[in-house]
Chain A
Amino acid sequence: GENVEQHPSTLSVQEGDSAVIKCTYSDSASNYFPWYKQELGKGPQLIIDIRSNVGEKKDQRIAVTLNKTAKHFSLHITETQPEDSAVYFCAALRALNAGNMLTFGGGTRLMVKP
């Protein structure tokens, strides 16, 4: 089955700096890669996703890049703000006709210091 590894497990940055979180996956058939943000006491919130036919996607301060050959994808957050502090999870999925199972990485705790 699919295995997703995520690094680093914790990341501390100064407000205004950039943050980068990296993930690798094992199943070359995976073709959909979402990123989730989880705040304390809340469920994961989808912040951006990318399909395997796209190399990069941006949404304001957030961007995701995908390297299918190397089987890794990354989340980039620019101009970080204290409200970006949370746990971030990457995930991978092989889109099937029925029954889609997300496989998650272990998470990255991002701390943005004012």
Chain B
Amino acid sequence: DAGVTQSPTHLIKTRGQQVTLRCSPKSGHDTVSWYQQALGQGPQFIFQYYEEEERQRGNFPDRFSGHQFPNYSSELNVNALLLGDSALYLCASSLGSGGFQPQHFGDGTRLSIL
């Protein structure tokens, strides 16, 4: 049973560039949430996708956008990268957007901005 998979594992970009991160949910899951984890801190919620729509958004600027595909996989796009965007980006999947469904995380993409 495949868990949540994310690609790439590591990425180096420079300020002002754009980046796309990818996530495949755990088998049987249909909802994908994205989190940003700065070094030494807890993950912070970016947004959640269900039925190819953004269902909830955290306190992140419009430079952060996403997409969910019909096969439930998802992309996170970040434009005009800043040094402060350097972090581990985590994808979590669950079954359904509401209720008490546990969220299961992938191992993340480590993004470094030079």
Contact = CB atoms under 8 A, between A and B. Distances in A.
B66 interface: no
Interface of B: 4, 33, 35, 40-45, 48, 50, 55-56, 58-59, 90, 92, 94, 97-108
A70 interface: no
A95 interface: yes
A6 B108 CA distance: 23
A42 B107 contact: yes
Given A46-B102, A103-B45, A98 B97 contact: yes
Which among B42, B48, B106 has the highest number of chain A CB atoms within 10 Å?
A: B42
Given A106-B42, A107-B42, A97 B107 contact: no
A41 B10 CA distance: 11
A45 B107 CA distance: 9
Interface of A: 1, 4, 6, 31-32, 34, 36, 41-46, 49, 51, 89, 91, 95-107
A4 B101 CA distance: 20
Contacts of A4: 42
Contacts of A51: 100
B98 to A, nearest CB: 4
A26 to B, nearest CB: 15
B98 A32 contact: no
A82 to B, nearest CB: 22
B105 A104 contact: no
A95 B48 CA distance: 14
Given A43-B90, A102-B45, 7 more contacts: A1-B59, A36-B105, A43-B107, A43-B108, A102-B43, A104-B42, A105-B42
A36 B90 CA distance: 13
A62 to B, nearest CB: 15
A82 B14 CA distance: 39
